């Protein structure tokens, strides 16, 4: 029969249409606006509408998600910031679009380099969010962020981030990337223990 | 892989005692052919030796030697490794005979080599720029050509560290002041070649004009939703029938290859994501494979990484094909329903990519000697759920939804036909080639990675029309699911990368061509190393670009409305076409 294929296809559309209502009915309010609802709508079991209504709702961000990097500082005992970056320059050298600028500090008396950046810039207009800087930093000092809502009205005066804007505490790092943080902390502690053991000898 | 016959004893050398010599440079392969014997050589290669498929044509500028080299990779359409041959000509006046008469698939690629490297192909029927416009000064891939924002020959740039004085390239070199035109070129007076006919068609008729039925030139694109991006087709019509079609491209050109030659080897991986941005995992693989070939036995990919590579590449194929089907239906005028159904499955796979690689589309997941990181907890189960349960069901649903639809069949069957002979001659690749009845799939013809361990069929269809190009994508999705099921079942434990990767590494001098069966066809990367940390030459054999060579042939004789779906059935992504 001519038209059978079309009818069959329409059947599929109708099924999708009905499914949303059935699902709405079954899950009630929980389907929208809750974490559970969003999780369900990005799972293999979803039927019916799967749209996540940004910005009222947001997709659940996996730990590995990467957006413009930030610099990590540890909080010292008196609340001062201990910047992890030693300005070794590896991230600036590995960055594919070359959007990291690091000004290394120098000892004013001797003129020798000091392991701390005097300034650190990232042009986030140019950053391609590749994550290579974080991957190759030997000190876990630069980490990919989860915050992607960076829209501004004027990119020229806002989008070159300096050290102040890039610095975030290690506790924030721990919050967004608990698994990575724990793994790296373990390695750091092992290293520190080894160092201490060597010093004792 | 070179043909197993040793180059030095190859029967080709007997057949051509003069004018053909083995390429004896260290790390190089194949033959060097004298320019005046090239056409004869290629004809013999095709007719006597069975190398009927010319996959890649590109040029290399050997500036220190004062030479331009054109590099050809030819295959047998029945499978096996490549036969590489090269022609060397002086750099000041590089003239090489065109091979379009032997291999029509060389057409766009020779134009590209002319455009970017300034190599003239004598006898080419239409040798004009293809990615740049006529108002562009110079040939940008030449080693002595410098871009407007030029800073240094090679990255990393010295200004970044330790001095680190931040600046914006665009501020120092403001737009408008950075444009150079060729001498005797006036942008105000210039009309693009071939556009006179277009404007003549738009001219208002005056009373005393004769009323004639003429062929009309119609411009489809560049900014038209039906053209999958900024792509333009100049169509000559007789009534509603297409007489001739010329694709115009390059609107998204950013000279990916020049960027690649400034980059270090590692930096190129995230840039390959941006080629065919729907299938970044496959792109990564092609490039990484080429560099791994150069590194030789310095690097071995661990088992688990091999499996993860296959898994990611096959998921990518599903994502791509499902999207291609969705957009094809868009082109047919079905509007957004099929597209959104396709997007739903795609979304679930992208969730997996995001969890593993950190990004949905710009995955940057492959590394030399493995992959960037192991699967986070929970992802393996998610993959299994999709592959064993949801995807097969949903693909069947898509099939039920579209395949027997009378409108789809009426619009697609018998439209845009490409015969097997034409498909091979035009160097078509991927689903386009296989839908024309040529069962050629790099995964089988020249296996890479661990594809020789899996059971799957090379999908093939025989009519070479739009409908078959639709069906073949469904077939391939099903085969990909099959591969995924095996790979997930067999996935071993272990490391995912060889050794501890360095942020910069030197690569032994030589050349390598890595190719994978990308979702759109054979995706090849030709990399030449001079032994330093940055590639000397980096070329992408882009299936989206080369498949367009056959577009005009497919459209001839069909209606203008069909041109849209024929383009849709080739499935191009402009990020890759224009590079
Ligand atoms: S962020 Fe890391 S890689 Fe970059 S300079 Fe600082 S310590 Fe070195
Ligand atoms: S994420 Fe990539 S592009 Fe961005 S700063 Fe880091 S290395 Fe550079």
* Under 8 Å between Cβ of A139 and A86: yes
Local structure of B68: helix, strand or coil:
strand
Residue A123 CA, ligand 1 centroid: distance in Å: 16
Is the distance from CB of B343 to CB of B486 less than 8 angstroms? no
Q: Residue B412: which of B226, B283, B559 has the closest Cα?
A: B559
Contacts of B36 (CB under 8 A, 6+ apart): B19, B97
Question: Is B144 inside any structural domain?
Answer: no
Sign of the torsion formed by the C-alpha atoms of B7, B9, B10 and B15: positive
**Would you state the structure tokens that stand for residue B166, as one six-digit string?**
């931040």
pLDDT in tens, A103-135: 888 888 887 887 888 888 999 989 999 999 999
Please tell me the distance in Å from B183's CA to the nearest CA on chain A: 32
| Ligand 2: residue whose CA is nearest its atom 7 | A95
Q: Does B397 touch chain A (CB under 8 A)?
A: yes
A8-67 pLDDT, tens digit each: 888 888 888 888 888 888 877 777 878 888 888 888 888 878 888 888 888 888 999 999
Say which residues have a Cβ less than 8 Å from residue B146's Cβ, sequence separation at least 6. none
Question: Largest Cα–Cα distance in chain B?
Answer: 82
Predicted pLDDT at B48: 85
Element (H, E) at A168: strand A167-169
Q: Residues B130, B83, B452, B78: what is their CA dihedral angle, to the nearest 10 degrees?
A: 90
> Phi/psi of residue B537, each to 5°?
-140, 140
Confidence of residue B405 (pLDDT cuts 50, 70, 90): confident
Q: Residue ranges of the alpha helices (H) in A89-154?
A: 90-94, 132-136
Domain end residue (candidates: B67, B92, B122): B122
Terminal alpha carbon distance of chain B: 26
Residue whose pair of structure tokens reads 């004639």 in the numeric block: B212
- Of B91, B122, B153, which one is at a domain's C-terminal end? B122
Residue B32: give the domain boundaries.
7-122
Architecture of domain A69-200: 2-Layer Sandwich (3.30)
- Binary contact (A98, B266; C-beta < 8 A): no
Looking at the fold, whether B509 and B360 belong to one and the same domain comes out as yes
SS3 B51: coil
Domain boundaries, chain A: 1-60, 69-200
B70 pLDDT band, cuts 50/70/90, is very high
Domain ends where: B76, B106, B122?
B122
Å from B161 to nearest chain A CA?
5
Q: Which candidate in A45, A63, A65, A101 is best for mutational testing of the B interface (most B CBs within 10 A)?
A: A101
The Cα diameter of chain A in Å comes to 93
| Cβ within 8 Å of residue B420, ≥6 positions away | B436, B437, B438, B464
pLDDT of res. A100: 92
Is residue A64 classed exposed, middle or buried when 0-12, 13-18 and 19+ CB atoms within 10 A define those classes?
buried
Q: Does the residue B1 lie in any domain?
A: no
The chain-wide mean pLDDT, for chain A, equals: 87
Domains contained in chain B, number: 2
Q: Is residue B207 part of a domain?
A: no
User: Which helix H or strand E contains B517, and what residues bound it?
Assistant: strand B510-518
**Could you tell me if residue B361 is inside a domain?**
yes
Evaluate whether residue B284 is within a structural domain.
yes
User: Nearest CA to B537 among B171, B142, B99, B273?
Assistant: B142
CB-based contact B420:B464 (threshold 8 Å): yes
Establish if B111 belongs to a structural domain: yes
Contact between B317 and B519 under an 8 Å Cβ cutoff? The reply is yes
DSSP letter string, B398-429: HHHHHTT-HHHHHHHTTSS---HHHHHHTT--
Looking at per-residue confidence, does B15 or A160 come out higher?
A160
Residue B227 lies in a domain: no
pLDDT at position B2: 47
Cα–Cα dist B300/B450, whole Å: 13
- Whether residue A103 contacts residue B162, with contact meaning beta carbons closer than 8 Å, is answered with yes
Token pair 């052919």: residue: B33
Cα separation, B170 vs B176, in Å, equals 11
Q: Are A50 and A72 in contact (CB under 8 A)?
A: no
In this predicted structure, the answer to whether residue B287 has a pLDDT above a threshold of 90 is yes
Q: Is the peptide bond before A55 cis (omega within 30 degrees of 0)?
A: yes
Q: Say if the Cβ atoms of A89 and B161 lie within 8 Å.
A: yes
Interatomic CA distance for residues A124 and B344, integer angstroms: 31
User: In the structure encoding, which two tokens stand for residue B544, read together?
Assistant: 């989206």
Helix (H, G, I), strand (E, B) or coil at B253: coil
* pLDDT recorded at residue B226: 58
Return d(Cα B430, Cα B436) in angstroms, integer: 10
Q: By the CB < 8 Å criterion, does B219 face chain A? A: no
Q: What is the CATH number of the domain that holds B290?
A: 1.10.645.10
Is B142 part of a structural domain of the chain?
Answer: no
> Ligand 2 centre and the CA of A127: distance in Å?
5
Of all ligands present, the nearest one to the C-alpha of A128 is 2
Tokens representing A58?
A: 């947001």
Among A42-46, B243-247, B273-277, B498-502, which range has the highest average pLDDT?
B273-277
Q: Pairing state of beta strands B95-97 and B120-122?
A: parallel
For residue B270, give the nearest of A6, A12, A132 by CB distance: A132
What are B290-299's pLDDT values in tens digits? Answer: 999 988 888 8
Provide the number of CB pairs (under 8 Å) joining chain A to chain B: 144
Cα(B54)–Cα(B425) distance, integer angstroms: 8
The pLDDT score that the predictor gives to residue B3 is 44
**Which of B142, B135, B243 lies closest to B189 in space, CA to CA?**
B135
Express the helix, strand and coil content of chain A in percent, nearest 5 each. Answer: 40, 20, 40
pLDDT higher than 60, residue B376: yes
Q: Which CATH number fits the domain that encloses residue B111?
A: 3.30.460.80
């Amino acid at each position: 029969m001519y038209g059978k294929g079309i009818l069959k296809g329409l059947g599929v559309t109708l099924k999708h249409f009905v499914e949303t209502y059935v699902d709405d009915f079954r899950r009630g309010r929980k389907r929208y606006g809750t974490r559970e609802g969003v999780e369900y709508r990005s799972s293999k079991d979803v039927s019916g509408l799967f749209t996540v209504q940004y910005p009222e709702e947001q997709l659940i961000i996996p730990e590995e998600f990467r957006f413009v990097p930030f610099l990590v500082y540890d909080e010292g005992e008196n609340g001062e910031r201990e910047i992890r970056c030693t300005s070794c320059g590896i991230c600036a050298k590995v960055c594919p679009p070359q959007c990291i600028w690091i000004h290394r500090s120098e000892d004013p008396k001797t003129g020798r380099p000091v392991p701390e950046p005097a300034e650190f810039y990232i042009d986030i207009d140019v950053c391609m969010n590749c994550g290579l800087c974080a991957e190759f930093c030997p000190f876990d000092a630069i980490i990919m962020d989860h915050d992607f809502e960076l829209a501004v009205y004027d990119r020229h005066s806002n989008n070159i981030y300096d050290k102040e804007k890039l610095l975030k505490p290690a506790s924030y790092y721990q919050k967004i990337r608990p698994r990575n943080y724990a793994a790296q902390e373990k390695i750091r502690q092992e290293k520190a223990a080894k160092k201490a053991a060597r010093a004792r000898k | 892989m070179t043909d197993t016959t040793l180059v030095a004893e190859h029967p080709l050398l007997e057949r051509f005692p003069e004018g053909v010599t083995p390429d004896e440079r260290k790390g190089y392969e194949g033959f060097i052919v004298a320019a005046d014997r090239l056409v004869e050589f290629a004809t013999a290669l095709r007719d006597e030796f069975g190398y009927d498929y010319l996959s890649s044509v590109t040029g290399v500028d050997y500036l220190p030697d004062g030479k331009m080299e054109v590099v050809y990779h030819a295959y047998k359409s029945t499978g096996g490794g490549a036969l590489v041959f090269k022609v060397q000509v002086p750099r000041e006046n590089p003239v090489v005979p065109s091979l379009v008469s032997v291999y029509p698939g060389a057409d766009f690629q020779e134009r590209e080599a002319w455009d970017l490297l300034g190599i003239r192909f004598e006898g080419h029927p239409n040798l004009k720029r293809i990615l740049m416009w006529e108002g562009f000064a110079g040939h940008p891939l030449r080693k002595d050509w410098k871009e407007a924002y030029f800073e240094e020959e090679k990255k990393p740039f010295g200004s970044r560290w330790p001095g680190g004085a931040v600046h914006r390239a665009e501020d120092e070199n403001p737009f408008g002041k950075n444009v150079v035109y060729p001498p005797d070129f006036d942008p105000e007076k210039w009309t693009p070649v071939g556009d006179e006919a277009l404007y003549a068609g738009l001219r208002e008729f005056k009373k005393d004009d004769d009323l004639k039925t003429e062929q009309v030139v119609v411009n489809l694109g560049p900014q038209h939703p039906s053209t999958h991006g900024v792509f333009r087709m100049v169509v000559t019509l007789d009534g509603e029938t297409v007489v001739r079609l010329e694709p115009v491209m390059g609107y998204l050109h950013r000279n990916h290859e020049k960027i690649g030659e400034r980059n270090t080897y590692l930096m190129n991986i995230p840039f390959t994501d941006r080629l065919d941005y729907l299938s970044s995992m496959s792109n990564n693989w092609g490039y990484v494979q080429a560099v791994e070939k150069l590194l030789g036995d310095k690097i071995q990919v661990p088992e688990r990484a091999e499996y993860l590579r296959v898994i990611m590449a096959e998921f990518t194929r599903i994502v791509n094909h499902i999207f291609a089907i969705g957009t094809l239906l868009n082109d047919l005028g079905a509007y957004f329903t099929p597209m959104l159904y396709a997007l739903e499955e795609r979304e679930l796979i992208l969730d997996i990519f995001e969890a593993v690689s950190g990004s949905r589309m710009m995955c940057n997941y492959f590394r030399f000697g493995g992959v960037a990181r192991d699967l986070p907890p929970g992802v393996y189960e998610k993959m299994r759920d999709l592959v064993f349960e949801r995807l097969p069901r949903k693909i069947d649903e898509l099939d039920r939804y579209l395949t027997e639809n009378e409108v789809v069949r009426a619009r697609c069957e018998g439209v845009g036909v490409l015969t097997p002979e034409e498909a091979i001659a035009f160097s078509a690749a991927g689903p386009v080639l296989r839908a024309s009845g040529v069962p050629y799939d790099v995964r089988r013809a020249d296996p890479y990675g661990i594809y020789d361990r899996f059971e799957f069929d090379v999908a093939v269809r025989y009519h070479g029309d739009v409908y078959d190009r639709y069906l073949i994508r469904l077939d391939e999705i099903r085969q990909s699911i099959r591969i995924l099921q095996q790979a997930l079942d067999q996935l071993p434990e272990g490391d995912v990368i060889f050794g501890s990767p360095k942020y910069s590494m030197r690569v032994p001098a030589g050349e390598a061509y890595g190719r994978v069966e990308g979702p759109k066809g054979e995706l090849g990367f030709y990399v030449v190393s001079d032994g330093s940390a940055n590639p000397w030459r980096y070329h992408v054999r882009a299936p989206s670009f080369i498949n367009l060579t056959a577009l005009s042939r497919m459209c001839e004789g069909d209606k203008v409305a069909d041109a849209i779906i024929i383009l849709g059935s080739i499935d191009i992504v402009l990020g890759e076409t224009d590079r």
